[in-house]
Structure 1
Amino acid sequence: MPYAVDYGDGYFGSRDPRAEVQEVFIEANRLPERFARCRHFAIGETGFGTGLNLLQTLQQWRRHAPPDAFLSLLSLEAHPLSPEDLERIHGYLGLDDPDSRALREQYPPPIPGLHRIDFPGARAVLTLGLGDAAPLLAQVRGHIDAWFLDGFAPRNNPALWNTGVFRQVARLSRPGATFGTYTAAGQVRRDLEAVGFTVQRVTGHGRKRERLTGTFQGLRVAPSPPVAHELHHVAVVGAGLAGLATAHALQRRGIRATILDPDGIAGGASGNPAAVLLPNLHPRDTELNDLALAGMRRTRALIDQMEGTTRERLRLASGVAFHGISTHGQKRVARLREAGGAGTSLLLDPEGPRCADAPHVYYPQGLAVDMAALCRALARALPPVRTEVVTGVEPGAAPDGGVRLETSAGTETFDAIVLANAAGRGRSLCPEQAAISTVTGQMTRIAAPLPDWGGYVATGQGYCIPGPGTSAWIGATYRRTEGAGDARDPSPLAEDDAANLRHLAWVPGLEHAEAIQVLEHWAGERAVVRDRLPLVGHSRLDRNGRILLNLAHGSRGLLYAPLAAEWLADHLLGLIEPLEATTAARLDPARHADQSPGGSSEA
């Protein structure tokens, strides 16, 4: 049996862990009967441990929940097991079903914060928080219907069993939320009662004489969180990666999504045939690095899911090396190396392979993907995209009213609207788009005498994605226009092909432009704001919170758009959000209120 030496306690309270989970947590919270009549359900847990509680809960969820219901799981762990120990314990417990394998495959690195793990076959997600419970719970947003108050014994682990933790548990609880716990300690009972729970002593499991269960009656320590809107039908304006990922996230949660875009699927910048998934790390901004880690994990999970569903290979290359070609690039490499693994969310390898002699860092989880193909794969599982032009959005007068969408075909009302439309061509539908600039980028596909350097993406000044034989995609130019409505014709230009070749002359095989054949090219408009982060959250167009934004993904959209889609869907439904509150605030559209477009070319 697994035993925690530091806490002097075992991971399980009895010799039959499965029976313990069934009685102490699943039956105590009446989960089978509640699962059978829910649309959305959220469970919180204060000690993840081996994951047995949640894996056994997923079995009950698969058995009892309606086919369109969605389960959101939150679990906290201050001292996560190593991947090797987790696999060993799962072997001992006989856990080798699809959910336990999905957990082990997506098990996060030991970086403090929130990490999302997807169980697509079970219509469920786990938000796993690594760190001390009280400060971490304070950063969580969402609502909980049932709690598993687990962890080592209160006398051995007082940091978990105290009023600071229980105040946060109460803050996140919906009225009527229940809990089950193995402990029967008197102080735990009194602390839970003090924050608004009614508590009962019941017969304990196995040789344990008593344990506690209870129900949340209402907060006594802070105002209750706002109740999420009741949603059934949401309009998504925009059929690029941001819009399609948003519609996909909503549909997974049982919400009908109508997608509108006059340019059809990936008609704008998301039509890029060769995009690079690359973390935007900063040597001193750990919050930005954590955001990059969350984005990398979500995008890779989405690509894995789409490749598994469509049986189509979407990846063009695996691994990305950033080379310090310029003086600025060399300083960046040096600073990232100095920050070390923990400071950069374990996303970089200081060494890795190389295709040039310049100082470099390597991102083993980076990749290149056919973004247009990814969008088409997403669209196959969604309702057909409607190609009407959206001309206006009008919020409802009452909080429980819908939002009206004006299109070239007429006016419709939806429970909520997500604006994920690209900038340019007069499609400004909200005041936040005033802060957006339009940037034109061009990719070039070439045939050149490239050596075999290992198949990874080389970046520095521009990037090179090796393809079959002697072909490669190179790019991309970065031409900024004056404003969101002033985008130039994005048709490919010969001078941009020449610029791509000039920027990549440092790559072996690309030194002599005259020896390189241009096979094809692609150009698109990209919407960006000054700090190069997207606009994700509420629009000030609607005080009732039913108009949301997933905009300005022109810089690293592949990194942030799928993560932003998950956050928006969970936020709309009041489920556990995948980002800590302070991290999510980095994307808040209000940060650019009353600002004009701007920003210099990206390094």
Structure 2
Amino acid sequence: MLDWARLEWRNGQPFAVDYGDGYFGSSDPRAEVREVFIEANALAARFRQCRRFVLAETGFGSGLNLLLALETWRREAPPGAFLSMLSLEAHPLSPEDLAAIHARLGLDGVDAQRLRSQYPPPVAGLHRIEFPEARAALTLALGDAAPLLSGIQGQVDAWFLDGFAPRNNPALWNTGVFRQVARLSAPGATFGTYTAAGQVRRDLEGVGFEVQRVPGHGRKRERLQGVLHTRPQDAPPAPAIPERVAVVGAGLAGLAAAHALRARGVAVDVFDPAGIAGGASGNPAAVLLPNLHPQDPELNQLALAGMRRTASLVGQLEAATGQAIRLAAGVAFHGISAHGRKRVQRLQKAGPARAGLLFDPAGPGCASAPHLFYPDALALDMRALCEALAAELAPVQREAVQGIQAVPDGPLRLEGVSGGAEYDAVVLAMAAGGDRPLCPEETAIATVDGQMTRVQAPLPDWGGFVATGQGYCIPKADGRAWIGATYRHTDARAAATTAETIAEDDRANLRHLAWVPGLEDASAVTILESWAGTRAVVRDRLPLVGASRMDPDARVLLSLAHGSRGLLYAPLAGEWLADHLLGLIEPLDVHSRARLDPMRAAVQPAGSSAEA
């Protein structure tokens, strides 16, 4: 957990106590930003000519630089273009101080409001902030610049090198940082900076930039700007940008990927013979809940990123479609089993700072067992979420893809579908248990059946939040609730799927939830309906996200095995896939993303048990 920056106001200007420097270099911050950063990088003209652009800065501060860049983007960029932004900050302003500076600068437009409403907690790592009205996204990286940059992937077109004076902030102005800046830079990347320090100029030239001294802003005599003329040897090659992508699967994983690609200006076709949410994604009620570990910061970083992405996406979709997706807000996880109690107690002992500040130690529960309360966790209507994701996509093509023809240096073609369309990339996000594997990674996947039960019960009003522990209960105000879910290996259930099997799963749900107030006496509960679906899982219960080994050119990507906590990871996976394909700033660092790499599961046997 990071400390908030220490801010003082001196002569009406914000001053950073820890750096002995002001947040702005002149009395006219807006004019300074336009000259030193926006005009130095020729952004207006470049925005007019692009379909996608990546802008990065060292030193987020108040966000003024990026907000003015967004203003320019809105004015100049062509329809359908997408802006990906990256900003680094070691000492973030508190939300209160950020709001105070914005008020001082008159920053209260929709983009500034979006920034403040999505401002992350002071947790080191990458945090995504969405600006849907501007067709833009910001990855705000909190922590020390050099190690953060070393884990970031993407190709930057223009840099704002902004930070406190080099003599006061050497951790930002050094060759270690500049080497990473050069590694991340696309061919011809430019930069602008307020400083004219000789060492900064020499260091930038040393990593491949051609540097110019130009007249400074205001009282500043000189400043620097330049262009990358020599890319370092470890810089990744510029990606072949896909213009048309096929997505196989119209469940949550596939639709999330298609939605992210379309938002970035890519033409997308979605294929699924079962239509929208025809498999487990048709779940009428599911829980968005983080999966935390007191000694696994990478897993916790994934959980925080997944929670933020899904919540942001749900808010955007509800506003855009007018469709209700949220069923309840707030989730209490109770330690009912011995394993559950141990998990809760270990997280309580570690404290919320070790877990992304995702749980509130003083939050409410509905049972006497030790519990964790997640105020930002949600219960969602999965089918409604999928339908909202598909609302702006082309109609799902209800055809079964039988295979993929991958021609070296040529397009990809789908077997078994009409039309003969050619694609630059394919995303496989199929439902569990397909008749014919489309990729070798499917051999690592096991399938399990889960059943939910809708009940009428004498439930007391414990505050409307979701109760989880051994099973979960999503209450409604009228005494009705969805409870669940069972967990059966598919082969065992398929051997004898009868009315009695379904009834037994309903009874199992009630047994597992007997700790919930109002469900103690099964005879007082009326079963209203049941819903069952088949889910795909691998041994470590994390999805398979990344390139398939079936295509050496890495044009076939996977978003599979979301059967455990799909709401937490599938929207994040879709966003990562879109950014990865397009060379934009990715929302996960290389260490967190490695936890989802399909190759990690290649040697793991299918059929191992997963946590219910």
Query: Structure 1 residue 349: deviation in Å?
Result: 1.2
How many percent of aligned residue pairs carry the same amino acid? Answer: 69
Query: Structure 1 residue 187: deviation in Å?
Result: 0.3
Question: Given the alignment of the two structures, is residue 163 of structure 1 paired with residue 172 of structure 2, yes or no?
Answer: no
The residue aligned with 1:134 is 146
Would you say the 8 A contact 1:32–1:61 is kept in 2? Answer: yes
Would you say the 8 A contact 2:464–2:477 is kept in 1? Answer: no
* Alignment: residue pair count: 599
Question: Given the alignment of the two structures, is residue 262 of structure 1 paired with residue 273 of structure 2, yes or no?
Answer: yes
Q: Report the Cα distance in structure 2 between the residues aligned to 1:563 and 1:487, rounded to whole angstroms.
A: 35
The residue aligned with 2:50 is 38
Would you say the 8 A contact 2:541–2:610 is kept in 1? Answer: no
Question: Given the alignment of the two structures, is residue 310 of structure 1 paired with residue 306 of structure 2, yes or no?
Answer: no
The residue aligned with 1:373 is 384
Q: 1:264 is aligned with what amino acid?
A: G
Matching residue within 188, 191, 202 for 1:179: 191
Query: Structure 1 residue 272: deviation in Å?
Result: 0.4
The residue aligned with 2:137 is 125
Would you say the 8 A contact 1:478–1:602 is kept in 2? Answer: no
The residue aligned with 1:345 is 356
SS at match of 1:493: helix
Structure 2 counterparts to residues 422-441 of structure 1, below 5 A: 422-441=431-450
Question: Given the alignment of the two structures, is residue 391 of structure 1 paired with residue 402 of structure 2, yes or no?
Answer: yes
Q: Report the Cα distance in structure 2 between the residues aligned to 1:593 and 1:526, rounded to whole angstroms.
A: 19
Matching residue within 10, 13, 16 for 2:22: 10
SS at match of 1:510: coil
Q: Deviations over 1:481-502 (max 9, x none)?
A: 359x989869881111000001
Query: Structure 1 residue 351: deviation in Å?
Result: 2.8
Q: Normalised by the size of structure 1, how large is the TM-score?
A: 0.98
Q: Report the Cα distance in structure 1 between the residues aligned to 2:170 and 2:55, rounded to whole angstroms.
A: 22
Q: 2:288 is aligned with what amino acid?
A: L
The residue aligned with 1:517 is 526
The residue aligned with 2:555 is 546
SS at match of 2:195: coil
Q: Report the Cα distance in structure 2 between the residues aligned to 1:30 and 1:49, rounded to whole angstroms.
A: 22
Q: Deviations over 1:524-572 (max 9, x none)?
A: 0000000000000000000001000000000000000000000000000
Structure 2 counterparts to residues 59-78 of structure 1, below 5 A: 59-78=71-90
Matching residue within 281, 284, 296 for 2:295: 284
Query: Structure 1 residue 268: deviation in Å?
Result: 0.4
SS at match of 1:2: strand
SS at match of 1:352: coil
Query: Structure 1 residue 219: deviation in Å?
Result: 2.4
Would you say the 8 A contact 1:446–1:474 is kept in 2? Answer: yes
Q: 5+ residue gaps in structure 2? A: 1-12
SS at match of 1:587: coil
Query: Structure 1 residue 411: deviation in Å?
Result: 4.1
Would you say the 8 A contact 2:452–2:506 is kept in 1? Answer: yes
The more displaced of 336-345 and 144-153 is 336-345
Q: Report the Cα distance in structure 2 between the residues aligned to 1:28 and 1:410, rounded to whole angstroms.
A: 48
Q: 1:488 to 1:91 in 2, by over 3 A?
A: farther
The residue aligned with 2:592 is 583
Question: Given the alignment of the two structures, is residue 147 of structure 1 paired with residue 159 of structure 2, yes or no?
Answer: yes
The more displaced of 117-126 and 422-431 is 422-431
The residue aligned with 1:335 is 346
Q: Deviations over 1:427-450 (max 9, x none)?
A: 410000000000101110000000
Question: Given the alignment of the two structures, is residue 207 of structure 1 paired with residue 219 of structure 2, yes or no?
Answer: yes
Q: 1:177 is aligned with what amino acid?
A: A
Would you say the 8 A contact 1:424–1:486 is kept in 2? Answer: no
Query: Structure 1 residue 310: deviation in Å?
Result: 1.2
SS at match of 2:330: strand
Matching residue within 366, 369, 394 for 1:358: 369
Query: Structure 1 residue 224: deviation in Å?
Result: 2.4
Matching residue within 56, 74, 79 for 2:68: 56
Would you say the 8 A contact 1:7–1:152 is kept in 2? Answer: yes
Q: Normalised by the size of structure 2, how large is the TM-score?
A: 0.96
Query: Structure 1 residue 595: deviation in Å?
Result: 3.5
Q: 1:86 to 1:487 in 2, by over 3 A?
A: farther
Q: Report the Cα distance in structure 2 between the residues aligned to 1:419 and 1:487, rounded to whole angstroms.
A: 28
Q: Report the Cα distance in structure 1 between the residues aligned to 2:199 and 2:569, rounded to whole angstroms.
A: 44
SS at match of 2:269: strand
Q: 1:601 to 1:579 in 2, by over 3 A?
A: closer
Q: Report the Cα distance in structure 1 between the residues aligned to 2:228 and 2:497, rounded to whole angstroms.
A: 59
Q: Report the Cα distance in structure 1 between the residues aligned to 2:163 and 2:552, rounded to whole angstroms.
A: 41
Moved over 3 A (4+): 485-492
Would you say the 8 A contact 2:14–2:22 is kept in 1? Answer: yes
The residue aligned with 1:22 is 34
Query: Structure 1 residue 226: deviation in Å?
Result: 1.8
SS at match of 2:230: coil
SS at match of 2:402: strand
Would you say the 8 A contact 2:540–2:610 is kept in 1? Answer: no
SS at match of 2:18: helix
Q: Report the Cα distance in structure 2 between the residues aligned to 1:198 and 1:488, rounded to whole angstroms.
A: 71
Structure 2 counterparts to residues 89-128 of structure 1, below 5 A: 89-128=101-140
Would you say the 8 A contact 1:406–1:412 is kept in 2? Answer: no
Q: 1:271 is aligned with what amino acid?
A: G
Q: 1:489 to 1:165 in 2, by over 3 A?
A: farther
Q: Report the Cα distance in structure 2 between the residues aligned to 1:235 and 1:428, rounded to whole angstroms.
A: 17
Q: Report the Cα distance in structure 2 between the residues aligned to 1:303 and 1:169, rounded to whole angstroms.
A: 34
Q: Deviations over 1:69-101 (max 9, x none)?
A: 000000000000000000111000000000000
Query: Structure 1 residue 341: deviation in Å?
Result: 1.6
The residue aligned with 2:9 is none
Question: Given the alignment of the two structures, is residue 593 of structure 1 paired with residue 593 of structure 2, yes or no?
Answer: no
The more displaced of 96-105 and 386-395 is 386-395
Q: Report the Cα distance in structure 1 between the residues aligned to 2:594 and 2:205, rounded to whole angstroms.
A: 33
Matching residue within 473, 479, 485 for 2:482: 473
The residue aligned with 2:201 is 189
Q: 2:178 is aligned with what amino acid?
A: F
Question: Given the alignment of the two structures, is residue 460 of structure 1 paired with residue 460 of structure 2, yes or no?
Answer: no
Q: 5+ residue gaps in structure 1? A: none
Q: 2:559 is aligned with what amino acid?
A: N
The residue aligned with 1:536 is 545
